[in-house]
Amino acid sequence: MASLPTGIRLITSFTRDQWYRAFIFILTFLLYASFHLSRKPISIVKGELHKHCASHGKVKLNIVNENAFRAPAGKISDNETHCGWAPFDKKNYQQLLGALDYSFLCAYAIGMYLSGIIGERLPIRYYLTFGMFASGAFTALFGLGYFYNIHNFGFYVITQIANGLVQTTGWPSVVTCIGNWFGKGRRGLIMGIWNSHTSVGNILGSLIAGYWVSTCWGLSFVVPGIIIASMGTVCFLFLIEHPRDIKCSSTPLISSKSYENGTNRFRVQKQILYTKDNSKNLDPEIQSLLSDGENGTIQPKFVTVLHGDGGNGMAAISFLGALRIPGVIEFSLCLLFAKLVSYTFLFWLPLYITNVDHFDAKKAGDLSTLFDVGGIIGGILAGVISDRLGKRASTCGLMLLLAAPTLYMFSMVSKMGLEATIVMLLISGALVNGPYALITTAVSADLGTHKSLKGNSKALSTVTAIIDGTGSVGAALGPLLAGLISPSGWNNVFYMLMVADATALLFLLRLIQKELCCTGSMPGEQRQFKEH
């Protein structure tokens, strides 16, 4: 008999459960990357919506580009000037652009608190599909303002508000789904890699929007809108919400240890022999794994039982109940200021590069992707370190401590040339996005499956929404403050960001102290710690 090809042997070496788990990992990665892909165009197009104009109506172009402004044929009106696209061609353009960011992010923050509660009570696949279709429609609608020659500021604000509301369907849904499929062992590493979808989406959004920004900026929104709507179709056809839906195990059936949350709880998964005699009180999910599928009888099998994570048949947790979980308030407030910094870069970095380095909108957008490349590195690094040390809060605190002086260096060094800007973009991206990535993924999943929930796994979406919703308040304030402060100088914007990072660190001090006061400093010693 001929030996199997190497590729087939590789395929068959993985179990059915492992293939499904990898599929959900990749699918949710792509789904949420499309959300960020659709958010990025506004930051790229800002440099095109306004051109720098001198007083008395004289044009002063910092960027020489024959295609810097091109309106649709036959649609030129008196409102259009060579300073940009009305109404953003006025002196108060920074405040107007900041108001656009604030409209989207404020709606996103408010909607996030509701989204988690709604998401707990609806099928994730339907809820996420609806959100992606609606987000695609509103993203494209913003771009249609170019083709229909719309210069009404209210139109763009309303579009941003509507888009912000429907985009809240994304994060609680994908985190709940990935939390259902992956256990707590190496959660920081797995979610650190998975969370790079944020940066990948930003990079793709920058490149797509930058391709058309100088010739037809409307397509910078229409194309991402089509992409996220298309991914909504993929979501509807392929997303599997929970392993039990296809009779898979929620975690690998091996003995392992796992980190509980920022309060340093650990537990050991145990292999237990179940037979007819001791299986009467098992929950339905475990019984389905043990039964032979035909007559429902229990067969003697070894399975891994994750006590406290079942949650079958339990009611969704209340908003106040989620707030009472230890660590939720501290991490939520920390994320408020950490996300303020991250989203200020997300929405204003290309314009900053345009003003400081005098690049056109496309080159500035391409260069800004390096910040997201650094973010990928930082997110993975934060996950690996926190898994290794078993200290989520301390890992975030260390990166926040280093981020503040790094931002000051960035504001100074970025004026020295392209090479220095590239280096500082990578370092700043890693330190700014590292804590943000860790809190919104591994920490949220840890807290959403806290032992105090007594097995109610339905809390994950609500906890995730509370943490990210609070963070989104900061995300709304950051770009707005940048728009108000930047006319007085970009250095003042960086001072604001440094204060925000320092404040984020302050909210973690209690949890950091609790982690450092545990018995022992190595993970093996920490497992002996038991919270009373």
Q: How confident is the model at residue 255 (pLDDT cuts 50, 70, 90)?
A: very low
Least confident of 208-222, 352-366, 490-504: 352-366
pLDDT at site 145: 94
Give the Cα separation of 488 and 314 in Å (integer): 54
Pick left, alpha or beta for residue 51 (phi over 0 → left; psi -120 to 50 → alpha; otherwise beta).
Answer: beta
Report how far apart, in Å, the C-alpha atoms of 309 and of each of 30, 383, 463, 493 are: 27, 22, 15, 44
Q: How confident is the model at residue 446 (pLDDT cuts 50, 70, 90)?
A: confident
Looking at residue 280, what DSSP letter applies?
Answer: T
Q: Is the pLDDT higher at 363 or at 295?
A: 363
Residues in the chain: 532
Q: What is the CATH number that goes with domain 14-50+85-244+316-518? A: 1.20.1250.20
* Whether residue 520 has pLDDT greater than 90: no
Pick left, alpha or beta for residue 316 (phi over 0 → left; psi -120 to 50 → alpha; otherwise beta).
Answer: beta
Burial of 245 (0-12, 13-18, 19+ CB in 10 A): exposed
Domain boundaries of the chain, sorted by first residue: 14-50+85-244+316-518
Q: Is the pLDDT higher at 294 or at 503?
A: 503
- Residue-wise pLDDT for 262-276, tens only, equals 333 333 344 444 444
Q: Is the peptide bond before 87 cis (omega within 30 degrees of 0)?
A: yes
Q: Percentage of the chain surpassing pLDDT 90?
A: 29
Per-residue pLDDT, averaged over 363-372, amounts to 85
Report how far apart, in Å, the C-alpha atoms of 459 and of each of 114, 269, 447, 473 are: 14, 21, 9, 21
Could you tell me the pTM of the whole model? Answer: 0.69
pLDDT at site 475: 85
pLDDT at site 54: 44
Per-residue pLDDT, averaged over 340-355, amounts to 85
- Residue-wise pLDDT for 8-56, tens only, equals 888 888 888 889 999 999 999 999 999 999 998 998 898 788 766 544 3
How large is the greatest C-alpha to C-alpha distance in the chain, in angstroms? 89
* Whether residue 134 has pLDDT greater than 90: yes
Buried-exposed string 40-72: b where 16+ CB fall within 10 A, e elsewhere: bbbbbbbbbbbbebeeeeeeeeebeeeebbeee
Report which residue type is found at 145: G
Burial of 438 (0-12, 13-18, 19+ CB in 10 A): buried
Mean pLDDT over all residues of the chain?
A: 77
| Structure token pair of residue 245 | 């839906």
- Residue-wise pLDDT for 78-113, tens only, equals 444 457 788 888 888 888 888 898 899 889 988 887
Report which residue type is found at 267: R
- Listed in sequence order, the DSSP H helices in 167-299 are 170-181, 187-194, 197-212, 219-238, 284-290
Q: How confident is the model at residue 488 (pLDDT cuts 50, 70, 90)?
A: confident
pLDDT at site 218: 94
pLDDT at site 292: 44
* Whether residue 287 has pLDDT greater than 60: no
pLDDT at site 183: 64
Least confident of 138-152, 305-319, 329-343, 370-384: 305-319
Report which residue type is found at 460: L
Report which residue type is found at 255: S
Query: Would you say 367 and 425 are in contact if contact means Cβ atoms under 8 Å apart?
Result: yes
Q: Name every residue whose Cβ is closer than 8 Å to that of residue 35 and which is 6 or more positions away in sequence.
A: 132, 135, 167, 170, 171, 201, 228
* Whether residue 282 has pLDDT greater than 60: no
- Residue-wise pLDDT for 374-407, tens only, equals 999 998 999 889 888 888 899 999 999 999 899 8
| Structure token pair of residue 246 | 């296809």
Pairing of strands 266-268, 270-274: unpaired
Q: For CA atoms 364, 367, 371, 372, give the dihedral sign.
A: positive
